[in-house]
C-alpha cells in the first residue's frame, strides 16, 4: 500500500475533495467534540484528543428505523442504505472498536443494517500523538497508530500530514486527491515511527489483561463487585459512550397513521434492561450490572469472539460522574485473582 505527503496548507482543499460524499468530520462545540456531517467548506481542525460520542454512531446510529408501516397495514417498508459515508479523523481505538463489534453483528446471523453501513463507510484515521489522560489502548491490543479497521491513516508530522493507505478504499482516496499530494521519502516514515514511539510512551495508564478472561468467573462472588459499584448511579454514560458497546432496544412508535419499528442504543447499566415483565430481574442491583459489564467486555466476549471488547479509549473513565474507573477495577480484579 502506498504513502503520500499532504502539506497542511492544502488541508482544506483535501477535505473539499472528500466532501462530494457523505462526509462526517469531528467538530468542536465548546470543549465537546462530535462527529457530524460536514458543512459546506468545513475543514475540521485535527487538534483534538477524541470525540465525546464515538464515531460508531455513523454506522450504528443511536436510533434507527428497522422498517416503517401504516397503522392497521401489513406491508413493511425497509429503509435502503445506499449512501457512501466517509469518516474523517477517526482515532485508531475507535476504528479498532468497529472491527470488534463487526464480529457481533456478523456472527450466526448477519445484521443487515450495520453491515451495510460498514460496507459503505471509508474510515480515515488520525494517529494519536498526544494521548489523553486515561488512554490505555496499548494494554488491550491497540496502539496510537493502529490501522485495524482503517482505510487510510493520517499522521501529523508538523508541517505535513503523512497519509498511509491501508486498504483499496484508502488507495482510492489517495488517487482522488493525487494532485494535492507529494511523494514521500524514507525520512517522513522514520519521523512517524519516532512520533508514534513517543506517543506510546506518553500513555500513562495500563492494565494487564493476562489471565483476566479465564479468571473473572472465579471472582463471581468476590466483594470487589460491591466495592467498585457502590457509587454507581446507573446513568449508563459508560456504555453509551463506549465504542464497543452495541446493545440495543427495539420499540414501535406511531405518529398519526405512520408507524415504525426502531432500535435505539440501550445500556446493561439500566435496571429495565433485563427486567422481566413478571417483576423478576436477573440483574437486580448495580453490583450485578457492573459485574456483567466488566465480565462481558473482558471475559464473555473473549470466549465468544476471541477479542477483548474494550479498546482503552478512556471515555468511560473520563465521563463517569462518580469517577468509576475501569483501569482501577481491572487492577482490583488482578489483585483478587
Partner 1 sequence: MITNDNPYIPYNATVEDTWYETGGERAIKTFKVVLDDEAVRKDWNHRPGQCAMIGVLGVGESMISISCSPTEGEFLRFSVMRMGKVTQALHQLETGDKMTVRGPYGNSFPLDEWQGKHILTIGGGIGQAPMRPIVEYVKANYGDYGGLTMIYGARTSGDLCFKGEFEDMAQDDELSCHLTIDVEEEDWDHNVGFVPSMLMDLNPSPENTIAITCGPPIMIRFVLENLKKLGFEDAQIYTTLENRMKCGVGKCGRCNAGGMYVCKDGPVFNYATLKEIPEAFA
Angle at 142 between CA 206 and CA 102, to 5 degrees: 125
For residue 144, the minimal CB distance to partner 1 (Å) is 30
Provide the binding-site residues for partner 1, judged by CB under 8 A: 66-67, 69, 71, 73-74, 76, 78, 104-105, 107-113, 217, 220, 246-252, 254, 259, 261, 263, 266, 268, 273-278, 280, 282-283, 288, 292, 295-296, 299-300, 303-304
The helix (H) or strand (E) run that includes residue 118 is helix 112-120
For residue 49, the minimal CB distance to partner 1 (Å) is 28
For residue 261, the minimal CB distance to partner 1 (Å) is 7
**Residue (28 or 107) nearer to partner 1, CB:** 107
Which residues are bridge partners to 125 per DSSP? 90, 153
DSSP state of 78: P
**Residue (11 or 69) nearer to partner 1, CB:** 69
Assigned C-alpha cell, 288 = 450485578
Please answer whether residues 88 and 18 qualify as being in contact, where contact means their C-beta atoms are separated by less than 8 angstroms. Answer: yes
**Residue (275 or 319) nearer to partner 1, CB:** 275
For residue 283, the minimal CB distance to partner 1 (Å) is 7
CB atoms within 10 A of CB 224: 18
For residue 222, the minimal CB distance to partner 1 (Å) is 12
Q: 59-74 burial string, b = 16+ CB within 10 Å, else e?
A: bbbeebeeebbeeeee
Angle at 219 between CA 213 and CA 224, to 5 degrees: 115
**Residue (192 or 283) nearer to partner 1, CB:** 283
Assigned C-alpha cell, 250 = 427495539
Pairwise CA distance, residues 174 & 165, whole Å:
7
Angle at 235 between CA 107 and CA 311, to 5 degrees: 45
For residue 332, the minimal CB distance to partner 1 (Å) is 18
Please answer whether residues 239 and 269 qualify as being in contact, where contact means their C-beta atoms are separated by less than 8 angstroms. Answer: yes
**Residue (37 or 217) nearer to partner 1, CB:** 217
For residue 229, the minimal CB distance to partner 1 (Å) is 16
**Contact partners, residue 131, CB within 8 Å, separation at least 6:** 49, 137, 144, 199, 202, 203
Which residues are bridge partners to 261 per DSSP? 67, 252
**Residue (275 or 336) nearer to partner 1, CB:** 275
**Residue (174 or 262) nearer to partner 1, CB:** 262
For residue 234, the minimal CB distance to partner 1 (Å) is 15
Assigned C-alpha cell, 72 = 392497521
Assigned C-alpha cell, 264 = 435505539
Pairwise CA distance, residues 248 & 175, whole Å:
38
**Residue (32 or 76) nearer to partner 1, CB:** 76
Pairwise CA distance, residues 240 & 267, whole Å:
7
For residue 275, the minimal CB distance to partner 1 (Å) is 7
Amino acid at each position: 500500500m502506498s504513502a503520500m505527503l499532504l502539506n497542511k496548507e492544502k488541508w482544506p482543499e483535501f477535505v473539499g475533495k472528500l466532501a462530494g460524499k457523505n462526509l462526517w468530520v469531528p467538530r468542536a462545540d465548546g470543549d465537546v467534540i462530535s462527529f457530524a456531517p460536514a458543512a459546506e467548506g468545513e475543514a475540521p481542525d485535527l487538534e483534538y484528543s477524541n470525540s465525546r460520542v464515538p464515531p460508531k454512531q455513523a454506522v450504528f446510529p443511536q436510533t434507527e428505523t428497522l422498517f416503517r408501516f401504516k397503522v392497521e397495514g401489513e406491508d413493511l417498508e425497509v429503509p435502503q442504505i445506499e449512501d457512501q459515508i466517509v469518516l474523517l479523523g477517526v482515532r485508531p481505538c475507535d476504528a479498532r472498536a468497529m472491527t470488534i463489534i463487526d464480529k457481533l453483528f456478523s456472527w450466526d446471523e448477519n445484521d443487515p443494517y450495520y453491515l451495510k453501513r460498514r460496507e459503505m463507510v471509508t474510515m480515515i484515521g488520525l494517529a494519536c500523538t498526544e494521548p489523553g489522560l486515561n488512554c490505555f489502548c496499548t494494554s488491550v491490543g491497540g496502539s496510537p497508530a493502529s490501522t485495524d479497521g482503517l482505510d487510510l491513516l493520517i499522521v501529523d508530522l508538523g508541517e505535513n500530514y503523512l497519509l498511509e493507505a491501508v486498504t483499496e478504499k484508502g488507495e482510492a482516496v489517495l488517487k482522488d486527491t493525487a494532485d494535492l499530494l507529494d511523494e514521500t521519502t524514507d525520512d517522513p516514515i522514520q519521523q512517524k515511527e519516532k512520533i508514534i514511539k513517543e506517543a506510546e510512551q506518553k500513555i500513562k495508564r495500563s492494565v494487564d489483561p493476562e489471565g483476566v478472561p479465564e479468571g473473572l468467573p472465579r471472582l463471581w462472588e468476590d466483594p470487589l463487585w460491591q466495592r467498585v459499584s457502590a457509587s454507581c448511579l446507573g446513568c449508563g454514560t459508560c456504555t453509551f459512550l463506549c465504542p464497543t458497546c452495541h446493545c440495543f432496544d427495539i420499540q414501535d412508535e406511531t405518529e398519526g397513521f405512520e408507524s415504525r419499528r426502531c432500535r435505539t442504543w440501550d445500556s446493561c447499566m439500566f435496571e429495565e434492561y433485563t427486567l422481566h415483565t413478571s417483576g423478576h430481574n436477573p440483574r437486580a442491583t448495580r453490583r450485578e450490572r457492573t459485574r456483567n459489564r466488566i465480565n462481558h467486555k473482558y471475559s464473555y466476549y473473549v470466549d465468544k469472539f476471541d477479542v477483548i471488547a474494550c479498546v482503552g479509549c478512556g471515555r468511560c473513565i473520563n465521563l463517569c460522574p462518580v469517577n468509576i474507573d475501569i483501569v482501577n477495577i481491572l487492577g482490583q480484579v488482578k489483585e483478587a485473582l
